[in-house]
């Protein structure tokens, strides 16, 4: 397709193409330039006759001054004929459209960037869901929602817990009832991962799935692209068509933690794991790098507590102050109970006393 074909296909009224059409009208600038150039060409053609006289003519400059001036005037008129005005208008019209074009290009680029970000986020979500079928984020949110504000502070204030938090002790065993409540920590140099063991989910809570769940928690808060080791493992398993092995998960876990200043690992109710899963996890967690901290909660089972004989141990019991806060909250949330307590001034104190005594630290 040549230039004329393209011009003919454009709509009338487009400034640039209207300008180009105006140059090619009959007796217009292009015709006048062609006529002048044809006159020059004809003047320069050699004569067909031979002979000394014609040879002499060929060696003489064929143009006189007046003729040259006339040709130049024709060319100059053709150059200026409507051209400046028409082209000026066309250029002005096109220039006026530049901001709109720039805006449209920016919009297209923005949409392209968003699409790329969305595609990358979808891909990351797909890989992380493949890595571990376990989702402890939901369990954590439910646990936090049921926690009574202000309870458990005695544990957070304890010397053993703060020694563990600061790194004086790398492992802490909390023995007694399971009451762990943790909140996500967002900090580029600190990683937190929590495992909630559940007797009813033993079939799903295999060692590789539990460790993989830790990887997901350590990776997911980051908005950066997934690390190369994880994507390599994913590709190795035919883009998620087969499951990762324990060795694969260990590679991903160690790669995910190596650049963090501190990694806090919390295993709640480790006694509810199967004996084989529990042993594999404990053996692995006990030899973690120096930047790792391990907190384990378990019922007082000798077979398990012996694994942590050389680590500080905190006895977890129902604190009387926590029980009173919980009871007060329950009464305040029940209109009938609140009415009974309001009518009998000593009833509230009696309830507190009886419940705390019956709980006996449970």
Closest Cα partner for 270 from 344, 180, 336? 180
Residue whose structure tokens are 């404990």: 282
Model confidence at 51: pLDDT above 80: no
0.85 cut: is pTM over it? no
Residues 21-33: what's their mean pLDDT?
65
User: Residue 23: what pLDDT?
Assistant: 61
End-to-end CA distance of the chain: 88
User: Residue 152: what pLDDT?
Assistant: 81
Residues 6+ apart with CB under 8 A from 146: none
Residues 167-178: what's their mean pLDDT?
83
CA atoms within 13 A on the CB side of 208: 11
User: Residue 216: what pLDDT?
Assistant: 92
The string over 64-92, giving b where at least 16 C-beta atoms fall within 10 Å of a residue's C-beta and e elsewhere, is eeeeeeebeebbeebeebebeebbeebee
Locate the DSSP E strands across the chain: 171-176, 190-196, 262-268, 292-298, 313-316
**Is the model more confident about 275 or about 33?**
275
Res. 341 pLDDT band, cuts 50 70 90? confident
Q: Are strands 190-196 and 292-298 parallel, antiparallel or unpaired?
A: unpaired
Counting every residue written for the chain, the total comes to 362
User: Residue 325: what pLDDT?
Assistant: 81
Residues 235-251: what's their mean pLDDT?
92
Query: Among 19-33, 271-285, 324-338, whose mean pLDDT is lowest?
Result: 19-33
Q: In this structure, are residues 337 and 331 in contact, taking their beta carbons and an 8 Å threshold?
A: yes
pLDDT digits (tens, 9 = 90+) for 182-193: 554 556 789 999
CA distance to 92, 103, 292, per residue, from 249 (Å): 64, 47, 17
Q: In this structure, are residues 281 and 309 in contact, taking their beta carbons and an 8 Å threshold?
A: no
Q: Are strands 262-268 and 171-176 parallel, antiparallel or unpaired?
A: unpaired
C-alpha to C-alpha distance for 181 and 147, rounded to whole angstroms: 7
Res. 270 pLDDT band, cuts 50 70 90? very high
CA dihedral (194, 271, 293, 213) in degrees, to 10, reads -30
Res. 61 pLDDT band, cuts 50 70 90? low
**Is the model more confident about 31 or about 185?**
31
C-alpha to C-alpha distance for 153 and 158, rounded to whole angstroms: 9
Instruction: Indicate the angle between helix axes 136-146 and 207-219, nearest 10 degrees.
Output: 70
pLDDT digits (tens, 9 = 90+) for 82-111: 555 555 565 556 566 667 766 766 676 666
C-alpha to C-alpha distance for 37 and 42, rounded to whole angstroms: 9
User: Residue 329: what pLDDT?
Assistant: 79
3-state secondary structure of 359: helix
Query: Among 146-160, 181-195, 209-223, 300-314, whose mean pLDDT is lowest?
Result: 181-195
User: Residue 9: what pLDDT?
Assistant: 57
User: Residue 179: what pLDDT?
Assistant: 47
Residues 70-87: what's their mean pLDDT?
60
User: Residue 3: what pLDDT?
Assistant: 46
* Cα 180–chain centre separation: 30
Residues of the chain above pLDDT 70, percent: 63
């Amino acid at each position: 397709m040549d230039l004329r074909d393209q011009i003919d296909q454009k709509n009338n009224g487009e400034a640039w193409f209207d300008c180009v059409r105006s140059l090619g009208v009959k007796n217009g600038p292009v015709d006048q330039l062609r006529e002048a150039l044809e006159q020059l060409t004809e003047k320069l053609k050699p004569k067909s006759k031979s002979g000394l006289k014609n040879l002499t003519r060929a060696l003489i400059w064929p143009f006189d001054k007046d003729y040259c001036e006339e040709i130049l005037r024709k060319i100059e008129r053709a150059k200026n004929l409507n051209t400046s005005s028409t082209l000026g208008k066309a250029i002005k019209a096109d220039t006026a459209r530049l901001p709109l074009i720039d805006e449209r290009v920016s919009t297209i680029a923005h949409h392209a960037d968003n699409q790329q970000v969305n595609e990358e986020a979808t891909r990351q979500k797909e890989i992380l869901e493949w890595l571990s079928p376990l989702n402890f984020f939901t369990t954590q949110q439910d646990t936090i929602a049921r926690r009574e504000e202000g309870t458990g502070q005695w544990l957070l204030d304890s010397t053993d817990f703060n020694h563990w938090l600061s790194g004086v002790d790398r492992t802490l065993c909390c023995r007694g009832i399971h009451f762990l409540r943790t909140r996500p920590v967002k900090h580029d140099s600190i990683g937190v991962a929590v495992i909630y063991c559940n007797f009813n989910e033993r079939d799903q809570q295999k060692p590789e799935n539990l460790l993989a769940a830790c990887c997901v928690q350590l990776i997911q808060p980051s908005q950066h692209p997934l690390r190369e080791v994880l994507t390599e493992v994913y590709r190795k398993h035919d883009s998620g068509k087969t499951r990762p092995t324990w060795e694969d998960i260990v590679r991903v876990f160690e790669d995910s933690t190596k650049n963090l200043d501190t990694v806090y690992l919390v295993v709640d109710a480790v006694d509810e794991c199967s004996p084989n899963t529990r042993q594999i996890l404990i053996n692995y967690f006990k030899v973690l790098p120096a930047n790792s901290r391990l907190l384990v909660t378990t019922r007082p089972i000798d077979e398990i507590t012996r694994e942590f004989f050389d680590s500080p141990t905190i006895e977890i019991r129902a604190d009387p102050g926590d029980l009173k806060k919980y009871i007060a909250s329950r009464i305040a949330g029940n209109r009938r109970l609140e009415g009974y307590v309001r009518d009998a001034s000593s009833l509230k104190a009696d309830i507190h006393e009886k419940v705390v005594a019956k709980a006996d630290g449970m």
